[in-house]
């Protein structure tokens, strides 16, 4: 007899587990974190973050500042938010210490956002088996209610058994792996971004003594 998945498909058990897990995530997660958690799914298929192109851009910005003055960097198109914020602060004349603190603050904020995003999926992984048990209890209640009709017991038994199966599969093969991968992606990006700080601080340090001259010349 060929193997078929039909006995393992039950829309009621699926609705209880998936719907319950989704409802719990919505109820306990702020809307902003929920949106970030869903948007973070696009990172799962994205290439690994690499700092090399950004380091090349910082070096190019340094050459521009050396040749034409730091104020010309204000017209540069910079896609990366950390580099853009640091360069804007350098153009405004902030000290290297200010630039270092700015980058630390942005690093901490990024780490907090990444932790909240991963926590959303990790908490959902913890919830799914519980929703499976809820489905099992609902199925058992249905079985006891229909004890007088043996033909109706099968449907309730299917809900009871498959809800537990769906909860375990959803938690261990979908939600927990997503949380783990998002943590790893955030950790890898944080390590790569550490390479951006020394050249940006060096640029601020190099331009600091030239800043008063540039301001005086423009005045």
pLDDT value for 98: 96
Q: Spell out where 99-166 has E strands.
A: none
Question: In which band, very low, low, confident or very high, does the pLDDT at 184 lie, cut at 50, 70 and 90?
Answer: very high
Q: Is residue 110 part of a domain?
A: yes
pLDDT value for 81: 96
Distance CA 17, CA 15 (A): 6
Instruction: Please say whether the beta carbons of 91 and 76 come within 8 A.
Output: no
Structure tokens at 196: 């951006």
Matching residue, tokens 């989704």? 22
pTM comes to 0.86
C-alpha to C-alpha distances, 40 to 33, 127, 219, nearest whole angstrom = 10, 20, 47
Q: Is residue 186 part of a domain?
A: yes
Structure tokens at 24: 């719990």
Distance CA 190, CA 201 (A): 17
- How many domains does the chain divide into? 1
pLDDT in tens, 200-214: 999 999 877 554 444
Distance CA 84, CA 186 (A): 20
Question: In which band, very low, low, confident or very high, does the pLDDT at 150 lie, cut at 50, 70 and 90?
Answer: confident
Q: Is residue 43 part of a domain?
A: no
In Å, the largest CA–CA distance within the chain is: 95
pLDDT at 75 over 60: yes
Q: Is residue 66 part of a domain?
A: yes
Structure tokens at 16: 């209880």
Q: Is residue 37 part of a domain?
A: no
CA proximity to 164, closest of 28, 25, 10: 10
Helix/strand/coil for 140: helix
Whole domain around residue 165: which residue ranges? 11-22+48-218
- Average pLDDT of the chain is 91
Q: What percent of the chain has pLDDT over 90?
A: 80
pLDDT value for 21: 98
């Amino acid at each position: 007899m060929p193997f078929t998945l039909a006995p393992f498909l039950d829309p009621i058990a699926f609705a209880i587990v998936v719907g319950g897990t989704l409802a719990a995530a919505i109820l306990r997660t702020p809307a902003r974190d929920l949106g970030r958690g869903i948007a973070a799914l696009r990172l799962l298929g994205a290439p690994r973050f690499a700092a090399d192109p950004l380091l090349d851009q910082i070096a190019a910005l340094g050459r521009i500042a050396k040749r034409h003055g730091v104020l010309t960097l204000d017209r540069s198109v910079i896609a990366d938010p950390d580099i853009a914020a640091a360069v804007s602060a350098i153009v405004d004349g902030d000290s290297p210490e200010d630039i270092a603190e700015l980058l630390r603050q942005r690093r901490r904020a990024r780490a907090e956002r990444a932790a909240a995003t991963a926590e959303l999926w990790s908490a959902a992984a913890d919830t799914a088996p519980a929703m499976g048990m809820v489905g099992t209890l609902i199925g058992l209640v249905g079985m006891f209610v229909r004890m007088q009709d043996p033909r109706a017991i099968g449907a309730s038994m299917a809900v009871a058994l498959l809800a537990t199966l769906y909860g375990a599969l959803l938690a261990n093969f979908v939600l927990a792996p997503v949380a783990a991968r998002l943590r790893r992606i955030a950790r890898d990006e944080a390590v790569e971004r550490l390479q951006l700080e020394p050249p940006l601080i060096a640029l601020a340090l190099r331009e600091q003594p030239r800043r008063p001259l540039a301001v005086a010349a423009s005045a």
